[in-house]
Amino acid sequence: MYDIIEISNGLKVVLEKIDYVNSVSVGLWVKNGSRNEDKQNNGISHFIEHMLFKGTEKRSAKEIAESIEDVGGQINAFTAKESTCYYVKILDSHLDLALDVLSDMLFNSKFAEEEIEKEKGVIIEEINMNEDSPEDVLLDLHSEAIWGEDPIAFPILGNVETVTSFTREMLMDYIQSRYIPKNCVLSIAGKFDEKDIIKLAECYFGDWNFKNKDLSDSSSPKILNSHLFKEKQIEQLHISLGLNGLPLGSDDIYPLLFLNNLLGGGASSILFQKIREEMGRCYSIYSYLSAFKNTGVVSIYTGLNPKYSLEVVSLIKEELFKFTKMDISDERIVKGREQLKGSYILGLESTSSRMFNNGKSVLFLNRINEPKVILNKIDNINREKIHDVMEITFKKGILNSAYVGENIDLSIMKNIIENDIFPFNNKPSSLI
């Protein structure tokens, strides 16, 4: 059973009742992340997420964790580019407690000055740890190559300078501007009594007071032709290549997922089989989608010995060229559909995954992505749709790139990507 209900103050509550489980997952979603920030307050959304766990008027930080963990539950949160989510998974008999703790964190967090200063040190260490991970550095660097100075390119953690500058007043003002009922969704999935659930939501969240009435829309960033390199003294070179993708909510996302799986989605994919298995040029290579409001990208990642970098980028470009000319058989389309359906269904095996799916869908699209509807869209993948999506994504080629490591000539790499040259093969094999 799915339902979307709006309580008295405009907060949407999305419900999925699952009678055969004995747990319930509750998530408070806020349509706010690093994309909603500016250069002066970058990282503030993530900082606020941390601070909501640092104590309320009636619970200490330890008591927040203990109240859920003492009954076998789990409590956590995350901040992304476009959203923040605070969530609890707990036995259905303790649903009241989950709502009580989440609402207490939301409405009664102290934001004590000493805790703010302490948390600055914690998050700066998190930033430093991020800098020690080449893959994380690459992700932020490639975001900058893709979107330039648009806020969607901002790092979720912020930087040392912005984090150090945060004051209690800045944090509270930001919460007042973004944490309002119409900008949030309460997602509940699992076992619950439908007669009581709305009363509980109204009880814990109905008195939510807010000042801000209007929120600015997200920007409409252009995907750039840009290539960036960050030097780090590490053994491997980490590479991310960017192609045009699709925005969140596009029905064409399913043909794109089909194509992505074929190109670089797993161990049987074209890139993995050619560059790792046949050529032995890397350990890891894969492609993946990132979809956001009014923008999206396909990224190809590989980590390898720098001496193979020019060859591998040339090979990826060549395989991509052949991929766009490929005649995909009916048998391959049927297999691809089944692969997508299997991955999707397996991804809905827990109350947590269903809560995440429902909450994000209602937050950004104002609808529930019911499994039968998704499966029907996957079944409707055909040659015509595949061709149309190929034209607006992979066929446009590699648009941008980012590199983290040593021993790279960015100008040569840029020349390989932007020009019709294949230095390690006289011409693409599909043209022979």
Cα atoms found within 13 Å of the Cα of residue 136, Cβ hemisphere only: 11
Contacts of 287 (CB under 8 A, 6+ apart): 260, 263, 264, 265, 269, 271, 298, 299, 300, 301
CB 423 within 8 A of CB 310: yes
Integer Cα distance of 357 and 344 in angstroms: 11
The SS3 of residue 84 is strand
**What tokens were used for 202?**
């109204």
Residue count of the chain: 432
CB 35 within 8 A of CB 83: no
Phi, psi torsion values for 124, nearest 5 degrees:
-65, -35
- The dihedral sign for the CA sequence 240, 315, 425, 329: negative
C-alpha dist (Å) from residue 80 to 298, 372, 395: 18, 28, 29
Q: Which amino acid is at 144?
A: E
In angstroms, the first-to-last Cα distance of the chain is 56
Q: Could you list the active site residues?
A: 49
Phi, psi torsion values for 58, nearest 5 degrees:
-120, -5
- Residue 76: strand pairing partners: 87
The count of other CB atoms within 10 Å of the CB of residue 118 is 11
Integer Cα distance of 300 and 332 in angstroms: 22
- Residue 234: strand pairing partners: none
- The dihedral sign for the CA sequence 229, 44, 76, 218: negative
